[in-house]
């Protein structure tokens, strides 16, 4: 079974770049990002055409909700 990456190549490069920044550099960089809020916020979100079960199977995920609730 082939596991699809969660991030695009461009997103992975950006994540790697952030990991190599200092806290101050990340804050400065983040101030230049567009804010995703308001009634059009969902327009910026990537649509996933899968059911929850398909998504979990595709990315080999497990539901740990009950485990988390044990500690809350």
- 1-50 confidence digits (pLDDT tens): 777 778 888 989 989 999 999 988 988 888 887 765 555 555 555 666 78
CA diameter of the chain: 41
Question: How much is the pLDDT for 19?
Answer: 92
Question: How much is the pLDDT for 70?
Answer: 86
- The residues, any chain, with a CB within 8 Å of residue 55's CB and separated by 6 or more, are 48, 61
pTM for the structure as a whole: 0.40
Question: How much is the pLDDT for 48?
Answer: 67
Question: How much is the pLDDT for 46?
Answer: 61
8 A C-beta contact, residue 36 and residue 42: no
Helix and strand numbers (H, E) in the chain are 5, 0
């Amino acid at each position: 079974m082939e596991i699809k990456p969660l991030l695009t190549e461009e997103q992975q490069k950006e994540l790697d770049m952030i990991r190599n920044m200092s806290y101050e550099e990340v804050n400065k960089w983040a101030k230049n990002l567009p804010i995703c809020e308001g009634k059009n916020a969902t327009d910026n979100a990537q649509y996933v055409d899968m059911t929850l079960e398909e998504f979990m199977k595709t990315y080999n995920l497990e539901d740990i909700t009950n485990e988390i609730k044990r500690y809350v």
